[in-house]
Amino acid sequence: MAEKTIIAIGQKPVANYALAVAHRHGEGVKVITIRARGARIGIAADAANMALNMGLPLRRGEARWGQEDGPKGRPVSWIEIDLAATAA
Amino acid sequence: MAEKTIIAIGQKPVANYALAVAHRHGEGVKVITIRARGARIGIAADAANMALNMGLPLRRGEARWGQEDGPKGRPVSWIEIDLAATAA
């Protein structure tokens, strides 16, 4: 089983990403990273908090942030938020 | 001089917050935290990246995230992003 995975925030409702976290967690992934860029960054935090509120054995991990080239060549901010599985 | 300060993201243009970072840095503050909630979270990352792009002796610091009660009693996501002064 993979130790880590990344869930990229797109255009779906926030609950979809929280459920994706639950699914990956159920598969045994140890660290689940939620990644978003630009205007979707707030959705990453919402999805992570929603996943925590589901009562799964997950804890807040670290967050990273930065900037990269966006689709139009302009710089776009990104964030990565980690959720870590706790001991069962 | 304060070791730390917090800049809260509100309704102003993102450049205002990047300039606030520069101002605090100029005052000698060592760690400048940009904080935002809800839909403004992406603005915090944008302001932090903009401040870095100004060429000031700052580096990316850690980021923290969580959830707290919002103005309507509903939970709202928050993020804090640190910018740390580098050695002159």
CA A17, CA A15: separation in Å to the nearest integer?
A: 5
pLDDT tens for each residue of A47-85: 999 999 999 999 999 999 999 998 888 999 999 999 999
The one-letter amino acid code at A55 reads G
- Rounded to the nearest angstrom, the minimum Cα separation between B56 and chain A is 16
Q: Is A49 on the interface with B (CB under 8 A)?
A: yes
Amino acid sitting at position A69? D
pLDDT tens digits for range A5-26:
999 999 999 999 999 999 999 9
Residues in B closer than 8 angstroms to A63, CB to CB, are: 62-65, 79
Contact A78, A37 (CB under 8 A): yes
pTM of the model: 0.92
A55 φ/ψ sector (left φ>0, alpha ψ -120 to 50, else beta): left
CB count, 10 Å around CB of B84? Answer: 17
Q: H or E stretch including A84?
A: strand A75-85
Instruction: Detail the DSSP E strand segments found in B1-88.
Output: 4-8, 31-37, 58-69, 75-85
Q: To the nearest whole angstrom, how far is the Cα of A3 from the nearest Cα of chain B? A: 22
